[in-house]
Chain A
Amino acid sequence: MQSEQVEIYQFLSTIAPFSLLSAASLEEVVGSVEIGYFKAGTQILSLGDAINDLCCVRSGAVEVFRKNGELYNRLSQGGVFGYQGLLVNRHVRYPVCALEDTLIYYISGAVFREMLDREEEFADFFAVEDSTRLLQVVSRQEKSSPLMTSKVSSLIGREPVTLLSSASVQQAAQLMCEEQVSSLLVLEPVTDDVDDDQLVPDLEAGPHYIRGILTDRDLRERIIAQGLSYETAIDEVMSQSVVTINSDDFVFEAMMTMLRSHVYHLPVLKKGRPLGVINLADIVRHESQSSLFIVSNILHQTTLEGLVALRDEVNSSFVRLVNEDANSQMIGTAMAIIGRTFKQRLIELAIEALGEPPIEFCFLALGSMARDEQLIVTDQDNALILDNSYDPQQHGSYFEQLAEYVCHGLAACGYALCTGGIMATNPVWRMTQAEWEVRFCDWIDNPTPRSLLDSSIFFDLDGVYGRTEWADQLNSLVARRAKRSQRFLASMARNALLRTPPLGFFRTFVLEQDGEHKNSINLKRRGTAPLVDLIRVHALAIGSSSRNSFERLDDIVEANILPPGRGEDIKGALEFIALVRIRHQKLDLEKEIPPDNNIEPENLSNFERRNLKDAFQIVSDAQKYLTFRYQPNRAN
């Protein structure tokens, strides 16, 4: 290689796809380079012209257009264009114009084609659409995460210890001692032909189903403390609603299942047959620094000060999850569970201070916590459902004080007060069950984009404490009703388009000009929020009862209302933008500066830049599709 080519070599070796080439191939590419210069505003490629070279932006910035003149992409230093035309018919398919004074490296088309034949990874880069490229990136990352690759089955140490339900609690305790286990599975044969004396199920004899589970804690709390006879049948004291997990599920999912359902033993099933039981300790051993610790820590605090002191631990468990390559869904769920636990504990402390509530209630979580998509920078959105017997004169002050205690407690624990006033402290958002139903019906039946502007958050709703089934009832009301109201969906769709992705990233991207974060992009406002909004509209349209955006997407894909492949694209985009946001918050925490949702383009790696650009393109396309699908007078 001639030494003046070192300059070109060094440049190309840092950017994809050339960085994927072997050194010899890259030298060959470098050897074919020619250079062109274009003043800002001049045409680089014109539609239909012959094209013989692959183009790479050495410096400056260009705009790529569709045939209809619509802006397709903006590329800055390192951006590659012209390959669509080169690969198809050697005529320009996407015209390109210089946005700034731009230096272009031309790579000979013959050498380019040679590389496609010879270098597989290089070819992959061009063979796939932008969105697919993004998906590959995301799935590659997921594969590398140990938490996501360990299956529940790897935690099972032994066969389950089982017993028939006719056994006495003493017999159960003896068996547990013998086997040195802290739980027993209570099985029942599917066919009812058991000897009366038989205690241990004969699994070879036929299929059994799980009737219940008996744990150390049950023996303590339900038998000894209650003074029951040792002869009591386990049938009477065991837990009957058994939460199970499949052996193919990931360890992470087992952990989340335990946290969500407040159980510490999970029977593991394979094709319906119990393989074993895993408990919290098994997972903790597997995942020694898990976010579980903080959850139990929260539950053990007896004062508000104690809870506030845990704030740093929340941050460090967030950092740990990121460092362990957890995906955004894991992190979002873990943080939501932690937030929910704070809320639950605060409500318990409030009740200790204020006395038992005069009527039943349900404390609601709204927005990201309800969707299991909470991150570290978050404000609180909550509300209260009160029993229909609510009388403001009689009960008003109790719930006002309860709300004050919980919301200000949460604020002290790092969950900022909601600036929009969507909190239980606001009397507007303390309504009876009947009033809530009326409110939701009104939103759905008499919609205007304006009236729904601040209420989309209520369509992500989850019960946290008290009569949580009231929250489920509201959710199913919404699921039934929303899909029938085309005007409601159209209004929601219109609002979902208010926040747009910063498409022309890095060069001419639209910067957030307000507030203290000048020259940066708010990844929540411009990235994840628009996606979450549009996913919610689709989910409402199909009557999905899921709240998590990824789960909603699964429902949406199943309902077949998106063009093929689009659901996976959106998933990939959401995951990627969320991960970039998460990583930048983690970096802020490690640098001990207050984390936020803003990123400065110069702080992004090349990898992040390139893929964020793809992701924003997907957001933009998905928004366009939303406009098309939910027109006020269109029948779906």
Chain B
Amino acid sequence: MLYRSLKDTTPVAPRLDWPAIYQRQADAARDRRLKRFFQAGLPAPDSTLAELEFVALDLETTGLSVEVDDIVSVGMVPFTLQRIRCNASRNWVVRPRTPLQEEAIVIHGITHSEVRQAPRLGSIIGEVLDALEGKVAIVHCKSVEQQFLGAALERLTGQRLLFPVIDTMAQERVICAKRPVSWWQAIWGRKPLSLRLPDCRQRYHLPHYTAHHATLDAVAAAELFIAQVQHYIGDEALLRDLWE
């Protein structure tokens, strides 16, 4: 099995000492919600994936620039490698500071009136942190979730939120890079595989979902992660080798 070797692969990112980072953030925290969040801590870095509880996280935003744009919707779903607990999924629509662009409406299907009635992120961020507490977050394309959530908390509390995630996109990039090159590809050059969520899912024979609904995307990312674990990563892999 050519892919087996992937399990013993070197980590995709420099290993950070996340428990220490959490401890520092907890000490620095003045906001009650943040303090509680950091004090709850993280699973042990040498836990195997099989024994962990995860939460898939997806944000929908008004655009891609963390300076200009803002969060409109947060979706989360808790899961283990055995089960995705859709029945415990959460979804929040929030009112962004920047006005909603037409093209964003087209993508998310969230309308102006929905947004006008929605609460500010500040009033629900406590619930978001509670749902995330003590679990490992799974995201597809970490820059969006880490940066937007980090920036939002900095605005709300004055403290930047640093939290570890496992990025299914980064995992997929590693997996694709290790794929054997066929003679065909050797002659014509390797065509880079798309790392978009639906394209990644297709490689694991996962069904097509109507994309860009925060919770549905979270479910989609959770399914993708379980598939990656089953096919390549292995459930004995250690948390410390995967989180970034």
A residues with CB within 8 A of B:
2-5, 7-8, 31-39, 42, 58-60, 100-103, 106, 108
Given contacts A37-B206, A103-B223, contact A2 B83 (CB under 8 A): no
CB of A33, distance to nearest CB on chain B (Å):
5
Contact A3 B82 (CB under 8 A): no
- Decide: A59 near B205, CB < 8 A? Known: A2-B215, A103-B223: yes
- Taking a contact as CB atoms under 8 Å apart, the answer to whether B227 and A4 are in contact is no
Residues B213 and A4 in contact, CB atoms below 8 Å apart: yes
Say yes or no for B185: interface residue by CB 8 A criterion: no
In the assembled complex, the CB of B217 is this many whole angstroms from the nearest CB of chain A, namely 9
B residues less than 8 Å from A34 (CB atoms): 83-87
Question: Chain A nearest CB: distance from B59 CB in Å?
Answer: 14
- Distance from B233 Cβ to chain A, minimum over Cβ atoms (Å): 12
A-B contacts, 16 listed (Cβ < 8 Å) = A2-B89, A4-B75, A4-B86, A4-B218, A31-B87, A34-B84, A34-B86, A36-B82, A36-B84, A37-B204, A37-B230, A59-B207, A100-B205, A101-B227, A103-B223, A108-B87
Closest residue on chain B to residue A2 by CB atoms: B91
Which residues in A have their C-beta under 8 angstroms from that of B206?
Answer: 37, 59, 101, 103
Interface residues of B in 198-244 (CB under 8 A from A): 204-207, 209-210, 213-216, 218-219, 222-223, 226-227, 230-231
Chain B's nearest CB lies how many Å from the CB of A466?
A: 63
Shortest distance between the CB of B74 and any CB in chain A (Å)? 12
| B contact residues, range | 20 to 34
State in angstroms the CA–CA spacing of A59 and B204 once bound together.
11
CA of A57 to CA of B75, assembled, Å: 25
Residues of B within 8 A of A37 (CB): 204, 206, 223, 226-227, 230
Are B91's CB and A35's CB within 8 A?
no
Instruction: Tell me which residues across on chain A come within 8 A of B216, comparing CB atoms.
Output: 3-4, 7
Contacting residues, chain B, for A2 (C-beta < 8 A) = 89, 91, 215
What are the residues of chain A within 8 A of B86 when measuring CB–CB? 4-5, 8, 33-35
The residues of B that contact A42 with a CB separation of less than 8 Å are 230
* Cβ–Cβ < 8 Å partners of A36 in chain B: 82-84, 226
Specify the chain A residue showing the minimal Cβ separation from B213: A4
A-B contacts counted at CB < 8 A amount to 69
Contact B223 A35 (CB under 8 A): yes
B87 cross-chain contacts in A, Cβ below 8 A = 31-34, 108
- Interface of A: prevailing SS: mixed
Known: A100-B205, A103-B206. 19 other contacts (CB 8 A): A2-B91, A3-B91, A3-B215, A4-B216, A5-B86, A7-B209, A31-B87, A34-B83, A34-B84, A35-B219, A37-B223, A38-B230, A39-B231, A42-B230, A59-B206, A59-B207, A101-B204, A101-B206, A102-B205
A106 touching B91 by the CB < 8 A rule? Answer: no
Asked whether, in the complex, the Cβ of A4 is within 8 Å of the Cβ of B89, the reply is yes
CB-CB < 8 A to B83: which residues of A?
A: 34-36, 106
Which 10 A-B pairs have CB atoms at the shortest separation, nearest pair first?
A4-B215, A101-B205, A35-B84, A4-B216, A39-B230, A59-B207, A37-B226, A34-B83, A33-B86, A37-B227
Write the residues of chain B forming the contact surface with A, with a CB cutoff of 8 angstroms: 75, 79, 82-87, 89, 91, 204-207, 209-210, 213-216, 218-219, 222-223, 226-227, 230-231
Nearest-CB distance from B81 to chain A (Å)? 9
Q: How far is the CB of A331 from chain B (nearest CB, A)?
A: 39
Q: Write the nearest CB–CB distance from A343 to chain B, whole angstroms.
A: 54
Question: In chain B, what residue has the closest Cβ to A101?
Answer: B205
Could you say which residues of chain B place their CB within 8 Å of the CB of A100? Answer: 205
Partner of B207, one of A3, A31, A33, A58: A58
Q: Which residues of A contact B215 (CB under 8 A)?
A: 2-4
A39 near B227 with CB under 8 A, answer: yes
Is the pair B227, A3 in contact by a Cβ cutoff of 8 Å? no
B204, chain A: closest CB distance, angstroms:
6
In the assembled complex, the Cα of A34 lies from the Cα of B84 at a distance in Å of 5
The interface residues of chain A lying within 8 Å CB-to-CB of B219 are 4, 35
Which residues of the other chain, A, contact B85 by a CB distance below 8 angstroms?
34
CA separation between A108 and B87, bound complex, in Å? 10
B109 shortest CB reach to chain A, Å: 8
Q: Which of A7, A39, A100 has the most CB of B within 10 A?
A: A7
Query: Shortest CB–CB separation between residue B55 and chain A, in angstroms?
Result: 14
Bound Cα distance A106, B84 (Å): 10
In the docked arrangement, what's the CA distance between A141 and B78, Å?
Answer: 46
- Rounded to whole angstroms, the CA-CA distance of A452 and B37 in the bound complex is 81
For the complex, give the distance between the alpha carbons of A32 and B82 in Å. 16
Chain A, Cβ-Cβ closest to B83: A34
Closest B residue to A39 by beta carbon equals B230
Q: How many angstroms between the C-alpha atoms of A42 and B235 in the bound complex?
A: 14
B188 CB to nearest chain A CB (Å): 28
A102 to B75, CA, bound (A): 24
Most interface-central of B75, B205, B207, B219 (chain A CB within 10 A): B205
